[in-house]
Amino acid sequence: MLQKDNLINILYIDLSQKKYWIEKRSDLFEKYLGGVGVAIQILKEECSVGIDPLAPENPIILAVGPLTGLFPLASKTVALFKSPHTGNLGESHCGGRSAIALRLTGYGAIVIKGASTSPIYLAIHNGQVYFRDASALWGMTSSYTVGRIIRQNEPATGLRTIMRIGGAGEKLISYAGVTTETYRHFGRLGLGAVFGSKKLKGIVISGKHSIPLLDKQQYRKIYDHIYKEAVSSPVMKKYHDLGTAENTSPLNELGGLPTRNLQTARFEGVKNISGENLAEGYLGRRLACAHCPVGCIHIAALREPYEDELYFYKTSMISYDYEPIYALGSMLGIAKPEGLLKLIDQIEKVGLDAMSTGVILAWATEAQEKKIISEKETGGIQFSWGDYITYIKAVQFILEQPNQFFKDLSQGVEYAAQKYGGYEFALSFSGNEMAGYHTGPAAHIGFLVGTRHSHLDNAGYSIDQKVLTQQRVKPEALAKMILEEEYWRQILSSLVICFFARGIYTPEVCLEALHNAGYDLSKEELINKGKEIHLEKYRFKVQEGFSLDNYRLPERIFDTPSLIGKIEKDYLKKVIEAVKSEIFSEQKDKKNFELK
């Protein structure tokens, strides 16, 4: 069955030679399903050891899975690359229309290699690739404008996605993202800079291929079950009503909302930037990724009068959710919703990762307060908590890099703190800036040991809240919980399911859905695949120099009490040791896996 499905077709594009070809890789899709499982194998094949992430040899792999286009909420595309931000595995997931358009154009994955000598964008329509001149788009800093122009230039039939970079990607800022459909992103770990290094301004993909079904009756049954759960379960309703912004107030109340560079975990201005307040005062519309009945994307309408014109207003539509609210709101002490939205808008325009940018600006503010840096470095900027106008200016400076200090900020907080000091309050884990959860040890350990250093790797924050608030857990047991969750998420990332639907896509549901895509597996086989894929990702990380032996944990996480109280350093160390021995214990070829 899989042989007949166009999922097994991988489109290879060489930007240096301006040519493309297709390879049938049923070997990869049969063994590793799709998404991250297949992409990590391609990354291993295509990415030589130790290459510069901004060199032409760094491939970009975009992959979808066997359920994409068939079932609701299988709406994400996985991007894999070597990260210019951490120097090891780059992995980012994005929704919008990206996944369905990619599947309907006739491919399970796209591999982009080489680099163009002049700016281009790629147009992939119904499987054909066109190399378009993007000289006129190069230098446009706003990802909004770039998207609008490509949309007008590319009449297409079928479902269409437009991925593009703003000025940050062109400037090779290590935490530049790629925007799709204006409000969705491959946000973390610097895919935008990899695009920029290839002079690739964007990719438009459209398609209208169909996908074969094995058993129509069984398909209807499992489809209806998933759909019903998606539209009626209370968990999904939360995503529709307030979106992830709903988390802001409860996290604050419990004492887990990082505030002013995590000097505290409660924010006095939380009410103004809460999901409830943003919905009541600003919500303009909700959107959904393609093939998702939930619609969790919340868009604020910000109306501002023009200065000299009476009754003339500019209305900006700005997407918000919990992560930018934390990183650009509480973390920077911004309590004014208009200020927060304007800052989000600015970061969105230039195409930076909101979380990394917020954490970097928070470090700079504290560093200036502590006189580690002065206006001499900042070029006259005086950072101050809550001063969103200055932060907007600073974002522009990160983009333009008028002096060495802003050049350094464009490489991330780890880099800046190494150079200027303030390491103890530089909130990065393995080179990636922290997410918005100071809930307890599991959140921070999960972030450190996760394969992409994201809160989504293993949801340690959830283990803190559900388990550690109730009982003390032995280090080995906590390590197991973190890893078990991460193993399972490799399956969801291979299928590629939106993590918000993880409660719906249980192993049993996945197996039934997979049956219709031509896979007949036992539960044990499916779960083992997750473990195997996780190991493959770790193998790549270790190959690129990642080690769990010489990690750094910012002192700040131990100073500020978390949701479950003060975090004990010794306990954390023991859990990390347990994670390490768990990951590597079953290795047959231990030699290749020796941690440095």
Residues that bind ligand SF4 (CB under 6 A): 73, 75, 95, 239, 288-289, 292, 294-297, 498, 500
- Type and span of the H or E element at 177: none
For the bound state, the minimum distance from the C-beta of residue 200 to ligand SF4, rounded and expressed in Å, comes to 25
For the bound state, the minimum distance from the C-beta of residue 97 to ligand SF4, rounded and expressed in Å, comes to 10
Q: Do 361 and 383 contact (CB within 8 A), yes or no?
A: yes
Nearer to ligand SF4, 141 or 244 (CB): 244
Q: Do 258 and 267 contact (CB within 8 A), yes or no?
A: no
For the bound state, the minimum distance from the C-beta of residue 230 to ligand SF4, rounded and expressed in Å, comes to 8
For the bound state, the minimum distance from the C-beta of residue 298 to ligand SF4, rounded and expressed in Å, comes to 10
For the bound state, the minimum distance from the C-beta of residue 294 to ligand SF4, rounded and expressed in Å, comes to 4
Nearer to ligand SF4, 140 or 498 (CB): 498
Return the residue matching tokens 């505290």: 264
Overall size of the chain counted in residues: 596
Q: Using alpha carbons only, how large is the chain's radius of gyration in Å?
A: 23
Nearer to ligand SF4, 319 or 430 (CB): 319
For the bound state, the minimum distance from the C-beta of residue 184 to ligand SF4, rounded and expressed in Å, comes to 7
Contacts of 26 (CB under 8 A, 6+ apart): 2, 3, 8
Nearer to ligand SF4, 503 or 565 (CB): 503
For the bound state, the minimum distance from the C-beta of residue 224 to ligand SF4, rounded and expressed in Å, comes to 18
Return the residue matching tokens 């999904």: 236
Return the residue matching tokens 């992103």: 185
For the bound state, the minimum distance from the C-beta of residue 285 to ligand SF4, rounded and expressed in Å, comes to 13
Q: Do 356 and 363 contact (CB within 8 A), yes or no?
A: no
Nearer to ligand SF4, 463 or 497 (CB): 497
Longest dimension (CA), the chain: 74
Nearer to ligand SF4, 246 or 536 (CB): 246
Nearer to ligand SF4, 399 or 510 (CB): 510
* Distance between CA atoms of residues 500 and 505, nearest Å: 10
Single-letter residue type at 469: T
Q: Can you spell out the DSSP letters for 523-541?
A: HHHHHHHHHHHHHHHHHHH
For the bound state, the minimum distance from the C-beta of residue 177 to ligand SF4, rounded and expressed in Å, comes to 15
CA torsion through residues 516, 520, 524, 525, sign: negative
Nearer to ligand SF4, 294 or 334 (CB): 294
Nearer to ligand SF4, 298 or 537 (CB): 298
| Cis? peptide before 473, omega within 30° of 0 | no
Q: How many CA atoms lie within 13 A of 379 on its CB side?
A: 14
Cα 71–chain centre separation: 22
Nearer to ligand SF4, 457 or 536 (CB): 457
Q: Do 212 and 4 contact (CB within 8 A), yes or no?
A: yes
Three-class DSSP category at 62: strand
Specify burial of residue 135 (Cβ count, 10 A radius: 0-12, 13-18, 19+).
exposed
Using CA atoms of 185, 186, 190, 192 in order, give the dihedral in degrees to the nearest 10: -70
Alpha carbon separation from 530 to 32, 216, 247 (Å, rounded) = 9, 28, 29
For the bound state, the minimum distance from the C-beta of residue 185 to ligand SF4, rounded and expressed in Å, comes to 11
